Amino acid sequence: MSERTLVLLKPDAVRRGLIGEIIGRIERKAGWTISALELRSLDQATLEQHYGEHQGKPFYEPLVAFMASGPVVALVVEGERVIEGVRALAGPTDPIAAAPGSIRGDFGVIVRENLIHASDSAESAERELKIFFPSAV
């Protein structure tokens, strides 16, 4: 069954010139398609909505500052098992714990600057797609 997920290439990925590398990995998965794609700068209100579940945690304020530090690439990716699948391509949150071959495992070192966000469940995808691409939902 086809699904949709929200992917953000974080400001570190954009600054380091890794947009093509990361999108290429997503595009090469059989049958997945990119149905929306935009370079944009995120404001505080959007970030508060997106990362609301982390409010109050010690990493929250630096995370929001980092996510506002430069443009991100926001994408909607559609396809079979795409929610679980993009999370697998990304690897776990801590890039040092992420296996080589995953996006975070290949390119990341510090936890905050881990290159990519991908919705972690169908419920998160629905909520996040409404924030970033309200007209596509």
2-9 and 33-40 beta bridge pairing: unpaired
Q: How far is the CB of 11 from ligand IDP (least distance, A)?
A: 11
Residues 38-57 that bind ligand IDP (CB under 6 A): none
Q: Is residue 5 a contact residue for ligand IDP (CB under 6 A)?
A: no
Catalytic, 50? Answer: no
Q: Cβ closer to ligand IDP: 81 or 112?
A: 112
Q: Is residue 112 a contact residue for ligand IDP (CB under 6 A)?
A: yes
Q: Which of 36, 37, 112, 23 is nearest to 67 (CA)?
A: 112
From first CA to last CA, the distance across the chain in angstroms is 17
Contact status, residue 84 vs residue 125, Cβ threshold 8 Å: no
How many amino acids of this chain bind ligand IDP (CB under 6 A)? 8
Contact status, residue 40 vs residue 72, Cβ threshold 8 Å: yes
Q: Is residue 84 a contact residue for ligand IDP (CB under 6 A)?
A: no
Contact status, residue 67 vs residue 41, Cβ threshold 8 Å: no
Q: Cβ closer to ligand IDP: 16 or 30?
A: 16
Binding site for ligand IDP (CB under 6 A): 59, 63, 93, 111-112, 114, 117, 120
